[in-house]
Amino acid sequence: MPRAATGAIRCIVGIGNPTDQYANTKHNVGWWVVDELASRHNVHMKRERLRAIYGRGRIGGLDIVLAKPTTYVNLTGDAALRLAIFFGIKPSEFLVVLDDMNLPTGQIRLRRDGSDGGHKGLRSMIQTFGTMEIPRLRIGIGAPEGRGGGVDWVLTPFDKETMPLIQDAVKRAGDCIETILKDGLEIAMTKYNG
């Protein structure tokens, strides 16, 4: 398989929690996007080692690893480090897909680097790799009413009214990632950050 050019994205990591208990929760939107890409590009997510479920395939003519860490959100960095060592991937060659309470439901936002924005999975990766230069695609899940309640919020399913917005966001996130792999981060940011 052709490898990506140096500095290009080589691994898409969807942050989420394993087990059926969390499968439909807001915190697992990153997993949903990885599943969307796997379905579109016939990537078999069969391997379960390196503390992740992962598969390899071609997207945009490039050799890409799709991964869903099985470490639970707070320890995402552990799985990412194992993937990095095994496949020889630099932090800047990851694209992390995660939920974000700071964005309106269904909005997506792509960034080349930056802080963790309060997300413990992204924080784990930043701490593990010792750099904030990890590209990320955030999917807005909205915030609970009032102060606090964030943990309960991310561990509950979407309601009937917001689920169509999230389903659309997952598809747009898949489109965005395909654009990143074909045309690069800058073009994708211009096109999808609204």
Which pLDDT score is estimated for 152? 84
Helices (H), 62-162: 76-87, 120-129, 150-154
- Decide: pTM greater than 0.75: yes
Residue among 27, 41, 44, 119 flagged as catalytic: 27
Which pLDDT score is estimated for 146? 67
Q: Which amino acid is at 125?
A: M
Which pLDDT score is estimated for 149? 60
Is 119 in the active site? no
Rounded distance between C-alpha atoms, residue 57 and residue 70, angstroms = 20
Domains of the chain, CATH where assigned: 11-192 (3.40.50.1470)
Q: Could you read off the pLDDT tens digit of each residue along the chain, which spans 194 residues? A: 344 444 599 999 999 999 999 999 999 999 999 999 999 999 999 888 999 999 999 998 899 999 999 999 999 999 999 999 999 999 999 999 999 999 999 999 999 999 999 999 999 999 999 999 999 999 999 988 766 567 789 999 999 999 999 999 999 999 999 999 999 999 999 999 96
Residue in 106, 107, 108, 126 with CA at minimum distance from that of residue 116: 126
Q: Which residue has the tokens 């981060």?
A: 185
User: 95 has which bridge partners?
Assistant: 12
Q: Which residue has the tokens 């990320």?
A: 136
Element containing residue 85 per DSSP (H, E): helix 76-87
